[in-house]
Structure 1
Amino acid sequence: MKSRLEMLHELSCGLRKIGLEEREAVAEARYALTFLLEVPLSELYLQGNELLSVEHEQKLQKILQRREKGEPLAYILGERYFMGLPFRVGPGVLIPRQETELLCEQAIEKIKQEHLERVLDICTGSGCIAVSIAKFSKACVYAADISMSAVETARENAHRQKVALQVVQSDLFLNVQGKYDMITANPPYIDDAAYAGLEYSVRQYEPALALRGGTDGLMFYRRIAMQAPAYLRSGGYLVQEIGYDQGEAVRTLLSEQGFAEIEIRQDYAGLDRIVWARWLR
């Protein structure tokens, strides 16, 4: 039998062999071990010489085998952390990305500053944005997604985090009612050419419905820019995640529809990541 640290090393090496960089491989190995053993990271190291059970060894080997085939760790474990919270994820639902946390943080800050009451998150996926806003603010949050799998997952994550969240199945605003102080969205924005070049694990396992934004990647931004005004209160905010090269194009779409105070904000890598706009009519 192997010790915890021996298995950590073995998993890390195995993940390096499938193309992960060392830091990412170690992080995945740590997460898999702590998840399976149900122990904090500190205990993993403090009791690193403790031997694993045969059952745990076998489960970890199966995890590595599935990763070697390209399956994302989040789908294997059925969980991904976002904003410090565990979210259930599975096939049919996009895996939350760390860069999207920046949108959440900024939205929550604005909600608190201006005491915004009603927030709608469209293209909600796992519900990571909507649930996080509900968890860390006093706003009444609503969510929508075209995928029933996503709707069910978002509802489950809301229940898991003990927050009130109304989720409807809707193609953007089709089944949405009412007006909101803020609308957030992380819509599909990968253009067709870029999608063909995505890494295998993303194309093979994550839902194309949540990734593909048409020929130029702007299909959903056009629809949102046209439809969102009908669902925003005067003075309301539209906050969207974008691809690194889409800032000016999305700015133009929003400006053409009458939005004001349009601002492109960068992520921690200095890349365009979030577009803020305000409806003042």
Structure 2
Amino acid sequence: MTFKQALEKGIKLLETEKIVDAKIDAWYLLSFVSQLTKAKYFLVQNEEIDELTLFKYKEALLKRAERVPLQHITGEQEFMGINFWVNEHVLIPRQDTETLVEEALKVTPSGSHVLDLCTGSGCVIISLVVLGQGITGAGIDISDEAIAVARDNGNRLAPGRIDFIKGNLWNPVLGKYNTIVSNPPYIRTEDINGLAEEVKDHEPLIALDGTEDGLFFYREIVGHAADYLACDGWLLVEIGYDQGPDVYALFVENGFKDVEVVNDLAGNNRVVKGHL
């Protein structure tokens, strides 16, 4: 069997299993197990694929057919142009969340100290440190396993510039920060079962469930942020597409100024930001 034939069979298998983006996923899995770039693939596509690579490819395809997320098979996900390690203990970084990083970079001066609540893989705070000027920070998460992933990413991508600490929101936080960011759990409990199988069955529930109305973590974060923000410091949170008005109101009620709801590239409400 050639590389081309293997890819064609992979696409057919995933399409049969009604995997969204079957062609893309089949290619990424082949690239992952063979270490072929797109350019290299076109040079060798009609050559025989070796048995070990074919075995690994079939194994990866079967996992994807069972709705295991692509990123859990490859162990990585690109975010803000940076490659992050991920596993089943952290939320997979999504393009929507890049809006949070982009908005934070706009209001975070060079040399700032930034706090990331519900840090997960660490993708938000690490992106800010890597892409910003002289930024340092801290990431907090309640999950030991998530903190382990974040530390691995931090040690590899921004060594010595971020402290990752296990904690429950504000519980371990000391001192003041120029910017506070968070992508907290915000899906309503009753909506969890309606999510794609890849999400509800394979990503951590603790990173998804925002309790009954989806606003619990926003009340906790916005209600106490002033105690930890430096003068004129900014708070930015990611939100669900229909949570803009409610979270905007929380910011205003807690004394934040220049509060704004920012849309993502798809035109959905995605970030609320304001400063003291």
TM-score (norm 1): 0.93
- Cα offset, 1:116, TM superposition: 5.1
Q: Does 1:128 align with 2:115?
A: no
Q: Which has the higher contact order (CA 8 A, sep 6+)?
A: 2
**Amino acid across the alignment from 2:206:** L
**Amino acid across the alignment from 1:52:** I
- Cα offset, 1:47, TM superposition: 2.6
The one-character-per-residue Cα deviations of 1:192-220 (angstroms, maximum 9, x if unpaired) are 12112112221111100000001010010
1:108 matched residue in structure 2: 105
- Cα offset, 1:245, TM superposition: 0.1
**Amino acid across the alignment from 1:117:** S
Q: Secondary structure at 1:166's aligned position in 2?
A: strand
- Cα offset, 1:46, TM superposition: 3.2
Could you tell me whether the CA contact under 8 Å between 1:78 and 1:88 is conserved in 2? yes
In 1, Cα distance between equivalents of 2:81 and 2:12: 27
Give the counterpart of 1:156 among 152, 172, 196. 152
The one-character-per-residue Cα deviations of 1:39-72 (angstroms, maximum 9, x if unpaired) are 3222222332232210111111111111122211
2:63 matched residue in structure 1: 66
In 2, Cα distance between equivalents of 1:50 and 1:131: 41
Superposed, which structure 2 residues align to 1:37-186 within 5 Å?
37-111=34-108, 114-115=109-110, 117-137=112-132, 138-163=134-159, 164-186=161-183
Q: Secondary structure at 2:273's aligned position in 1?
A: strand
**Amino acid across the alignment from 1:44:** Y
In 2, Cα distance between equivalents of 1:83 and 1:184: 16
In 1, Cα distance between equivalents of 2:127 and 2:75: 18
Could you tell me whether the CA contact under 8 Å between 2:122 and 2:153 is conserved in 1? yes
In 1, Cα distance between equivalents of 2:10 and 2:79: 23
Could you tell me whether the CA contact under 8 Å between 1:262 and 1:275 is conserved in 2? yes
The one-character-per-residue Cα deviations of 1:204-263 (angstroms, maximum 9, x if unpaired) are 111000000010100100100111111101111111110000000001111111111110
**Amino acid across the alignment from 1:237:** W
* RMSD (Å), alpha carbons: 1.4
**Amino acid across the alignment from 2:18:** G
2:9 matched residue in structure 1: 10
Unpaired runs of at least 5, structure 1:
none
Q: Does 1:259 align with 2:256?
A: yes
- Cα offset, 1:128, TM superposition: 0.7
User: Cα 1:116–1:276, aligned 2, differ >3 Å: closer, same or farther?
Assistant: farther
Q: Secondary structure at 2:95's aligned position in 1?
A: coil
In 1, Cα distance between equivalents of 2:187 and 2:198: 15
**Amino acid across the alignment from 2:39:** S
Could you tell me whether the CA contact under 8 Å between 1:168 and 1:176 is conserved in 2? no
In 2, Cα distance between equivalents of 1:86 and 1:75: 14
In 2, Cα distance between equivalents of 1:179 and 1:69: 46
Could you tell me whether the CA contact under 8 Å between 1:126 and 1:154 is conserved in 2? yes
In 1, Cα distance between equivalents of 2:222 and 2:262: 18
Q: Does 1:208 align with 2:213?
A: no
Unpaired runs of at least 5, structure 2:
none
Q: Secondary structure at 1:64's aligned position in 2?
A: helix
User: Cα 1:15–1:250, aligned 2, differ >3 Å: closer, same or farther?
Assistant: same
**Amino acid across the alignment from 1:59:** K
For this pair of structures, how many residues does the alignment match? 274
Deviation beyond 3 Å, 4+ runs, structure 1: none
2:235 matched residue in structure 1: 238
Q: Secondary structure at 2:138's aligned position in 1?
A: strand
In 2, Cα distance between equivalents of 1:108 and 1:30: 33
